[in-house]
Amino acid sequence: MTGGESSSEGPMERQPTGEDRVRMIARQVSEPRTANWIASEADWSHEPTKRVLERLVDNGVLHRDDTGAHTTYSPDYRRQALNEAIRLRDSGHTVEDLTKRLTEMNARIRRWEDEFDVESPNHLRGTIADQGLDVTEEDRRREIAREWEQLQRRIEIVGFAIREWDFLAPATECGEPLR
C-alpha cells in the first residue's frame, strides 16, 4: 500500500463476493437454471455455488426442482409475490389507491384486446405471423405482449394485496400479536 491508501473500504466501494453474485443471479433468473449455469454466470466455482443455492432453498428464497435430468433452481415466485404484496400494503397507499391502479391496469389490457382483437399476449404475438406488418409494428406488438404479461402478473399481486389487505397489515395495526 502507498501512503495515501486505506486498507478499509466503505460499503459502497466493496466488490461483490462470489456469494453475493450467486445470490443476485439466482434471484433474477427468469427460468430454472442449474448450479453449473449459475456458477458460470457468477464467475465462481461449482461447489460453493451449490452450497449457497442450497441455503437459499432452505431459507425459502429459491425453489429446487429435482424432477429433470439435472437439478435446477429458480426464485420462489410465491414468496416474491407475498413480499411484493406486503410492500404494497406498507407503502402508504390506501386500498382505494390500489383499487384505482388495478382498474387502470385492467383498462389498459382491454384497450389492447380491442385494438388488436386478441385475447392474450401470445395471441397478439401470433398476429405477427398472420399479417404483413412492417418491422416497427412487429416490434411494437412484441413489446406490448411483454408488457401485457408483466401487467397480468402485477394485477395478480395487486389483487391479492387488496383481497388480503387486513391480513397483510403490520403487526402494530392488527392488535394482539399471534401467540
Give the bridge partners for 34, in sequence order.
Answer: 72
The per-residue pLDDT string of the chain (179 residues; one tens digit each, 9 = 90 and over) reads 444 444 455 556 778 999 999 999 998 887 899 999 999 999 999 999 999 999 999 998 899 999 999 999 999 888 888 989 999 999 999 999 999 999 999 999 999 999 999 999 999 999 998 768 999 999 999 999 999 999 999 999 999 999 999 999 987 655 545 44
**Taking the CB of residue 84, how many other CB atoms lie within 10 A of it?**
17
CA separation, residue 28 to residues 35, 97, 174 (Å): 14, 29, 33
Question: What separation in angstroms does the CA of 93 have from each of 83, 99, 107, 139, 170?
Answer: 16, 10, 20, 35, 14
- Domain residues of the chain, as ranges? 18-75, 79-170
CATH number for 18-75 (one of 1.10.10.10, 1.25.60.10, 3.40.50.11860, 1.10.760.10): it is 1.10.10.10
Is the sign of the CA dihedral 140, 144, 146, 147 positive or negative?
Answer: positive
Q: Which three cell numbers stand for residue 164?
A: 388480503
